[in-house]
Structure formats: structure tokens, C-alpha cells
Chain A
Amino acid sequence: AQKVTQAQTEISVVEKEDVTLDCVYETRDTTYYLFWYKQPPSGELVFLIRRNSFDEQNEISGRYSWNFQKSTSSFNFTITASQVVDSAVYFCALRLPNAGNNRKLIWGLGTSLAVNP
């Protein structure tokens, strides 16, 4: 069965701290895509990154970085020097493009991040 686990329900940090959000996934498919979305209080889910299963290179975008490790089935997200505007719920998701009628996104429950001034 396919599953995404975000074990951290809530995280609270002080501004300028680094914070890592964990995501662990389960699938037997060899081809899959992993996603991170951000949901600020306004409600809109904002797409952050898509990573395919054949590309294990870590990615950095400004203060955001992602660590993909197939050996541990993890796709962790780190925010460096966090800011108050980073406060949001962050979702990790898995998609199996070759799964026929089961191509839908499989979502984690999300991690609520509070960055305090």
C-alpha cells in the first residue's frame, strides 16, 4: 500500500532558526513523484517542489532545501533562517504515474510550522 507519513504534527521555532520537516513515504513502485506544498493561513496550497524517484540530488532554492534519500524512503524539507512568513502547514505528497486509475496524489497529514518573532 502507498502511504505518506509526516510524523511531526506541530513545530514551533524562533525566527532565524533552521527547521527540518520530515516526510517518509511507502510504495513498491519504482517510478514515483514526491511533492511538497505550503498552506499559509489564507488557505491556498502553494506548490513548492516536485522530485522524481530517479533523481536523488538534493535541491536548494533560496532558504529552502530538500533531502531525498531512497534508502530511507524520506524526502525531508529544511528551511534555513526561518522567518515569520514561513508559518504555515506543509504537506508532503506522493504520486504514482503508472498506477492506472490510482494516479491521484497521496497526502500526508501535514506539519504545522509556527515561526515566532
Chain B
Amino acid sequence: ETGVTQTPRHLVMGMTNKKSLKCEQHLGHNAMYWYKQSAKKPLELMFVYNFKEQTENNSVPSRFSPECPNSSHLFLHLHTLQPEDSALYLCASSQDERGATDTQYFGPGTRLTVL
């Protein structure tokens, strides 16, 4: 595997379900990110982890819970979601989010539909 991978690629869930999104990076990076992409809106940064420490929580509702067990893996745990949470969830990684020239590399995303 190369780059940034995400599983599953597609997910349909009911509002009472609990599910998790997984992201793995094979680039030797130390920072990982979750973004939400909805139609007609700018990309929304949700969470950032740098060297396994959470450095950003962009006022995300508690029904989204991130987990970063190591620098290569990032999870997004989902529970009691709302239909408006339906979106493309993108994971990214970078060398070090404090670095001046830091550049993010993205995975293919998980298309989430909440019924």
C-alpha cells in the first residue's frame, strides 16, 4: 500500500448506528487530519493530530470522536449521527503540521450517507 488509504470507501448508516472510519498513511508522516467535504461548502477541517497529540478540534459535535493510536493510523468513531452529517470524509497526512513548508496528502475519502 502506498500513500494514504481509507476504509470503507462507502458507508450507509442509520442515525442510531455506531461505525468507525479508518485512515492509514504509509508516508512516514507525523500529522494526520480529518476533513468533511459537503457540496457547495469549503473543506471543513475537523481534527488534527501531530505526533499523536490532538492539536485541533474545530468545534466538532461530540457524535464524532477521533482516535489516533499512532502516527500511521487515524480513526473517526461515529455515533447517533444526523442526516446533515452525510458527506465525503477525507483523511490527510503531512510531515509536521508546525513545519513552514508542510504539505498535506489526502486519501480517497469515505462517502458517508446517514439515513
Contact = CB atoms under 8 A, between A and B. Distances in A.
B43 A91 contact: yes
A42 B108 CA distance: 7
Interface stretch (A20-28, A73-81, A104-112): A104-112
A109 B107 contact: no
A14 B103 CA distance: 32
Interface string A47-85: 100101000000000000000000000000000000000
Question: Is chain B's interface secondary structure helix, strand, loop, or mixed overall?
Answer: loop
B101 A33 contact: yes
Given A43-B88, A43-B111, A52 B106 contact: no
Contacts, number: 49
> What is the interface residue range for chain A against chain B?
20 to 34
A43 B88 CA distance: 8
Contacts of A43: 88, 90, 108-109, 111
Interface of B: 40-43, 45, 48, 56, 88, 90, 92, 97-109, 111
Interface of A: 31, 33, 35, 37, 42-47, 50, 52, 91, 95, 97-98, 101, 103-105, 107-109
